[in-house]
């Protein structure tokens, strides 16, 4: 029976593009016709098999190799965190003048990346953008993992980590309460609310799809086609261990618990859809509030270069920009490695996301220009110096290269997408997404370090140099992120199955449309 | 969710705590002596199941359900489902969240632990807005998800439908209408005839093995 073997895939399409072009059939600009969201005349069963098949297949060797590398990097990062906790924040390159540097740069970088998931799930859901179904699940997963990485840095940079619970508004024996008038405490609430709501949103979206995985594993068990447990070997055949439970038995148990006994009932779907809509409605202001509040950490201080009212919208646009770049950066290679995924994530979807990159990149570029303009127009010499002397001018600013890397990556690169050929080429999109990811890290570095290293008094000016612990902690956080993402790719439904089926033409209740 | 009829409530509780509550005597018993849970029929296409749902609704059934791999657009009308109270519950949760935000911040900052920070007034409301908002969102989200699950009677890991082997195809591409034997209009022959007329295939009785 088709689809009953674990990991069985429908055969990929023989001619995935229109002959003579690179168009997969979704790029035509015909206003009378909507581009299909799922290509290749796939049936519901095909879509289920594509999405579940990869989650049920044996662990592929390249995946194992990648996981080995990323988890080693993650372990290295964890080691750096332990080293920091045992020794103290002196192992970082922070000093009296630059007392926030890579730690907060990394925090803002990761929390920014974490904005694309909720934006795709919530805002595009409210705007009824059907193409979001191609990426919403992976973007939400990426959001959770990015927020986990983000949460590490403020947690460990406080120095004495064991006092981090002072941030929580709980009565303690000292009779001390946190200062609710501080943006840093708003940040604690914003980020923890965001992490909780994103996790719940992701999990709720996954309940029906995990139930599908549960049902498939159960059917294989009852039909006796389950594979025995095998230990994957880097070279040669896997070692079969019949004494252990079969993978499908473990799947039934774990997916079964995760699915909460979902029965695909229409009465349940009705409440589920209502809950999803309300969540989308409240997540939209939430996602806008989180990076606004992160920007208040800077904007409410009086440091030149931080003390600007443009920060909240500028940070939000930058977060969406960086988040979409990361989604594209992760999904384009995946789409190449797993051919059937390109039927679900079409060139049209990539083009739409490239357009969002262009829009948000231009907004960020406008904000850079406006910051500069206001620094000049406001006639505040400290603020003007923060831009002209400390960022832009190579003759005066030691960190000029960071500023110009940021401008090149964030403002110049996305302009390629004005050309249709460019935003229809996955390779170009991937290169721009990589540039944007680098550029957004530098944006936070520029804001934090170049503003701090030269404040009001020249006597306290000080450079910042990262130590090896700084560098390896950041690399380690990338390892943690990639490890979690690889585990997600292998063990959970990477596409929102039920939502994909809704946007397929067979889901319409009337034959005429 | 069951109706407020005491018999239904006991039956509902017995699903979760079979060692405490005993199910009321069944209306219908299968040949093997098990209680009959209901009757299922399969459909393969969305328009067919939609029209079948309209027929079941028009025939006057009330305790029945359509199991579909994805939420069918406007199936609520075809089934005659009333809009859920979830939005109201979420709204109440939002108000509670904001209230907690007000009491927590104002109470601690103005009364329990007033601290001079840059000479700002202790009771000013402006700095409290972000956390009021965040707590409102947090409680709304909790209510959306946990309220949705509670109204749906989930988690519930055992259900008579799971004993029906063909039911597992619902998560893939099959549509199943299930009319429960608790329905006042349920009658093995008449219900079967209705489901056949509606175009259902593989019509079967589901037994509840308890």
Of B72, B117, B130, the CB nearest to A266: B72
Residues of B whose CB is below 8 A from A507: 46, 70, 72-73
For residue A417, the distance in angstroms to the closest alpha carbon of chain B comes to: 35
Domain boundary assignment for chain A? 44-168+176-229+240-507
Query: CA of A310: how far to CAs of A321, A380, A412, B53, B135, in Å?
Result: 17, 16, 21, 54, 25
Chain B residues in contact with A274 (beta carbon < 8 A):
83-84, 86-87, 148
Out of B46, B90, B157, the one facing A507 most closely (by C-beta) is B46
Range B125-154 average pLDDT = 92
Residue with the bigger pLDDT between A237 and B150: it is B150
What is the distance between the alpha carbons of residues A501 and A388, in angstroms, rounded to a whole number? 54
Superfamily per CATH, domain A44-168+176-229+240-507: Formate dehydrogenase/DMSO reductase domain (1.20.1630.10)
Q: What is the mean pLDDT of residues B60-88?
A: 88
What confidence score (pLDDT) does residue B8 get? Answer: 75
CB contact under 8 A, B168 and A182: no
Whole-number pLDDT of residue A171? 78
Q: Which two tokens stand for residue A223?
A: 């039909």
Inter-chain touch A211–B149, beta carbons under 8 Å:
no
What pLDDT, on the 0 to 100 scale, is given for residue B171? 86
Q: Specify the DSSP element, H or E, that contains A292.
A: helix A266-299
Which of B172, B175, B180 to substitute to test the interface with A, most A CBs within 10 Å? B172
What is the separation of C-alpha B75 from the centre of its chain, rounded to a whole number of angstroms? 15
Q: Chain A closest CA to B112's CA: distance in Å?
A: 8
Residue of B nearest to A506 (CA): B46
**How far is it, in rounded angstroms, from Cα B162 to Cα B168?**
7
Q: Quote the CA–CA distance of A376 and A494 in Å, as a whole number.
A: 48
Nearest CA-CA partner of A316 in A367, A353, A280, A387: A367
Q: Alpha carbon A495 to chain centroid distance? A: 15
CB A509 to CB B47 under 8 A? yes
Burial of residue A242, with CB atoms counted within 10 A of its CB: 0-12 exposed, 13-18 middle, 19 or more buried = exposed
pLDDT exceeds 90 at position B206: no
At residue A513, the pLDDT reads 44
Quote the minimal CA–CA distance from A13 to chain B in Å: 21
Are B141 and A180 an interchain contact pair (Cβ–Cβ within 8 Å)? no
Q: Which residues contact A435 (CB under 8 A, 6 or more apart)?
A: A408, A409, A413
- Could you report the predicted ipTM of this complex, rounded to two decimals? 0.90
Q: State the average pLDDT for chain B.
A: 86
- In angstroms, what separates the C-alpha of B20 from chain A's closest C-alpha? 22
Q: What DSSP string runs through B13-57? A: HHHH-TTT--PPPPS-B-TTSPEEEEEEEEE-SHHHHHHHHHHHH
Instruction: Give the distance between the most distant pair of CA atoms in chain A.
Output: 78
- Cβ pair B173:A3 closer than 8 A: no
CB distance A45–B135 less than 8 Å? Answer: no
Q: Which domains does chain B have, with CATH numbers?
A: 25-69+173-208 (3.30.70), 86-152 (no CATH)
Task: Give A495's contacts in chain B (Cβ within 8 Å).
Answer: none
Query: Taking CB atoms and an 8 Å cutoff, what residues of chain B touch A499?
Result: 70
Establish how many alpha carbons lie within 13 A of residue B197's alpha carbon, considering only the half-sphere containing its beta carbon: 10
pLDDT for A6 equals 67
**Tens of pLDDT, residues B187-202:** 888 888 888 888 888 8
pLDDT along chain A (513 residues), means of 10: 63 68 71 72 81 81 89 94 90 86 90 83 82 85 91 86 84 81 90 91 91 89 82 79 84 91 90 91 89 89 87 88 90 84 83 90 92 89 86 87 91 91 89 93 90 85 89 93 92 87 79 49
Contact between A274 and B128 using a beta-carbon 8 Å cutoff: no
Residues sharing a CB contact under 8 Å with residue A230, sequence separation 6 or more, in sequence order? A58, A238, A239, A240, A241
Task: Give the count of beta carbons closer than 10 Å to the beta carbon of residue A460.
Answer: 11
Residue with tokens 């004005």: A418
Which of A43, A256, A271 shows the shortest C-beta gap to B84?
A271
Q: In a mutagenesis test of the B interface, which of A193, A205, A225, A251 is the best target, namely the one with the most B β-carbons within 10 Å? A: A193
**Distance in Å from the first CA to the final CA of chain A:** 32
- The answer to whether A381 touches A304, Cβ cutoff 8 Å, is no
């Amino acid at each position: 029976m088709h689809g009953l073997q674990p990991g069985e895939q429908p055969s990929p399409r023989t001619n995935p593009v229109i002959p003579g072009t690179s168009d997969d059939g979704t790029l035509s600009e015909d206003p009378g016709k909507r581009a299909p969201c799922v290509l290749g005349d796939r049936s519901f069963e095909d879509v289920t098999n594509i999405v579940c098949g990869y989650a049920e297949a044996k662990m592929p060797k390249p995946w194992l190799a990648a996981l080995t590398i990323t988890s080693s990097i993650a372990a290295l990062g964890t080691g750096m965190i332990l080293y920091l906790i045992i020794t103290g924040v002196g192992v970082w390159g922070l000093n009296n003048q630059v007392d926030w540097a890579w730690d907060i740069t990394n925090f803002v970088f990761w929390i920014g990346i974490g904005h694309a998931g909720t934006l795709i799930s919530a805002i595009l859901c409210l705007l009824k953008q059907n193409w979001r179904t191609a990426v919403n699940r992976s973007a939400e997963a990426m959001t959770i993992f990015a927020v986990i990485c983000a949460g590490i840095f403020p947690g460990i940079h406080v120095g004495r980590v064991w006092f981090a619970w002072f941030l929580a508004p709980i009565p303690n024996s000292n009779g001390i309460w946190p200062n609710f008038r501080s943006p840093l405490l708003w940040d604690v609430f914003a980020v923890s609310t965001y992490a909780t709501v994103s996790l719940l949103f992701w999990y709720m979206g996954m309940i029906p799809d995990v139930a599908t995985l549960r049902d498939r594993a159960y059917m294989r068990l009852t039909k006796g086609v389950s594979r025995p447990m095998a230990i994957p070997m880097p070279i040669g055949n896997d070692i079969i261990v019949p004494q252990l439970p079969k993978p499908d038995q473990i799947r039934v148990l774990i997916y079964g618990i995760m699915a909460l006994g979902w029965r695909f009932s229409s009465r349940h779907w009705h409440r589920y859809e209502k809950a999803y809509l309300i969540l989308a409605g409240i997540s939209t202001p939430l996602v806008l509030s989180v990076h606004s509040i992160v920007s208040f950490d800077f904007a409410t201080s009086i440091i030149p270069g931080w003390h600007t009212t443009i920060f909240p919208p500028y940070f939000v646009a930058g977060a969406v920009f960086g988040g979409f770049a990361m989604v594209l950066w992760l999904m384009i290679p995946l789409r190449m490695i797993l051919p059937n995924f390109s039927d679900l994530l079409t060139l049209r979807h990539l083009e739409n996301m490239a357009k969002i990159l262009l829009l948000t990149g231009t907004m960020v570029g406008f904000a850079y220009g406006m910051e500069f303009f206001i620094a000049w127009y406001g006639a505040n010499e400290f603020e003007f110096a923060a831009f002209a002397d400390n960022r832009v001018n190579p003759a005066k600013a030691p960190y000029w290269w960071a500023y110009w890397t940021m401008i090149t990556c964030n403002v110049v690169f996305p302009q390629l997408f004005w050309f249709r050929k460019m935003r229809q080429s996955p390779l170009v999109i991937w290169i721009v997404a990589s540039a944007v990811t680098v550029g957004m890290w530098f944006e936070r570095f520029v804001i934090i370090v170049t503003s701090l290293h030269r404040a009001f008094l020249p006597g306290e000016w000080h450079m910042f140099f990262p130590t090896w612990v700084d560098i390896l902690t950041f690399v380690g956080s990338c390892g943690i992120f990639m490890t979690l993402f690889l585990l997600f790719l292998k063990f959970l439904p990477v596409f929102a199955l039920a939502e994909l089926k809704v946007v397929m033409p067979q889901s319409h209740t009337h034959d005429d449309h | 969710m069951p109706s407020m009829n005491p018999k239904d409530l006991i039956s509902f509780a017995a699903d979760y705590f079979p060692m405490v509550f005993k199910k009321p005597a069944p209306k219908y018993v299968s040949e093997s002596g098990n209680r009959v849970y209901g009757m299922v029929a399969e459909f393969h296409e969305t328009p067919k199941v939609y029209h079948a749902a309209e027929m079941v609704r028009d025939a006057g059934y009330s305790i029945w359900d359509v199991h579909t791999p994805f939420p069918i657009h406007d199936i609520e009308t075809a089934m005659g489902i009333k809009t859920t109270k979830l939005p109201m519950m979420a709204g109440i949760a939002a108000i509670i969240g904001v209230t907690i935000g007000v009491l927590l911040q104002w109470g601690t900052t103005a009364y329990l632990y007033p601290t001079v920070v840059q000479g700002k007034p202790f009771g000013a409301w402006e700095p409290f807005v972000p956390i009021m908002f965040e707590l409102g969102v947090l409680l709304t989200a909790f209510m959306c998800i946990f309220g949705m699950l509670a109204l749906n009677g989930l988690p519930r890991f055992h259900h008579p439908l799971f004993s029906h082997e063909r039911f597992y195809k619902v998560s893939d591409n099959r549509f199943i209408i299930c009319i429960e034997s608790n329905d006042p209009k349920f009658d093995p022959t008449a219900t079967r005839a209705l489901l056949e007329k509606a175009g259902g295939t593989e019509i079967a009785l589901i037994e509840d093995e308890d």
